[in-house]
Chain A
Amino acid sequence: DIVMTQTPLSSPVTLGQPASISCRSSQSLVHSDGNTYLSWLHHRPGQPPRLLIYKISKRFSGVPDRFSGSGAGTDFTLQISRVEAEDVGVYYCMQATQFPQTFGQGTKVEIK
């Protein structure tokens, strides 16, 4: 199975300031079709997880442009350009390149 490792596991952030989360996979996420199926999801308590980013850097429908994804191969990053109050919660990276699909441990983002 592909192991997804996120850092940090906790991130206190200041409103209006940037935030960054890293995700590393135990093997390359490049699929045989040439795509890299690395996604980022946001999970707030009491709500279902919400897809933010797919295929490394594509924003899902309705996702604000303060969210961006980057990376390649085994190393990926989610960046929030200016954190807003609604951005608190847990962020997960997920790979869908290979079965079983696997998630990172989650990074808890909270306001300082």
Chain B
Amino acid sequence: EVQLVESGGGLVQPGRSLRLSCTGSGFTFGDYAMSWLRQAPGKGLEWVGFIRSKTYGETTEYAASVNGRFIISRDDSKNIAYLQMNNLKIEDTALYHCARYSSQPANWGQGILVTVSS
């Protein structure tokens, strides 16, 4: 069974950094691209970014709202994908999900809450 577990969330002040982790199991982690998505309170789903597998160079894509501030990386030896969030803004407050990507976000983790507030 595919399982994805996010960790590393919490309360952080504007301008600070936070790193989320997504640990996968039940599948060959290195064979898949991984996505990060989020849902702000009372809002719909928003795609944050994406990292391709090693086969495709581990290249990344980002939403304009986070480009230049967020960095996605992966460590296939540990089955973990990371979301490094820098210069956080109040509007980054959301429940963050990672997802195994198979032409689209196929399997989602439960999500981890990130609150940006002074």
A residues near B (Cβ < 8 Å) are: 1, 35, 37, 39, 41, 43, 47-51, 54-55, 60, 90, 92, 94, 96, 99-106
Q: Is the interface of B mostly helix, strand, loop or mixed?
A: strand
- Which of chain B's residues have a CB closer than 8 A to the CB of A47? 110
Q: Which residue of A lies closest to B110 (CB)?
A: A48
One of B35, B44, B106 near A106 (C-beta < 8 A): B44
CA distance A102 to B35 in the complex (A): 13
One of A39, A90, A96, A100 near B64 (C-beta < 8 A): A100
One of B47, B61, B108, B110 near A102 (C-beta < 8 A): B47
One of A1, A50, A100, A103 near B108 (C-beta < 8 A): A50
Q: Is the CB of A48 within 8 A of B45?
A: no
Total A-B residue pairs with C-beta atoms closer than 8 Å?
60
Say which one of B13-21, B84-92, B97-105 lies at the interface with A: B97-105
Q: A39-B104, A51-B105 are in contact. Are A100 and B97 (CB under 8 A)?
A: no
- Which of chain A's residues have a CB closer than 8 A to the CB of B23? none
CA distance A43 to B46 in the complex (A): 13
Number of interface residues of B (CB under 8 A): 20
Q: Is the CB of B47 within 8 A of A51?
A: no
One of B44, B63, B105, B107 near A100 (C-beta < 8 A): B63
CA distance A60 to B104 in the complex (A): 11
Q: Is the CB of B104 within 8 A of A48?
A: no
- Which of chain B's residues have a CB closer than 8 A to the CB of A60? 106
Q: Judge whether B109 is part of the interface by a CB distance below 8 angstroms.
A: yes
Q: Which residue of A lies closest to B111 (CB)?
A: A48
Q: A100-B61, A100-B63 are in contact. Are A105 and B105 (CB under 8 A)?
A: no
CB distance from A24 to the nearest CB of B (A): 16
CA distance A101 to B38 in the complex (A): 12
CA distance A32 to B62 in the complex (A): 21
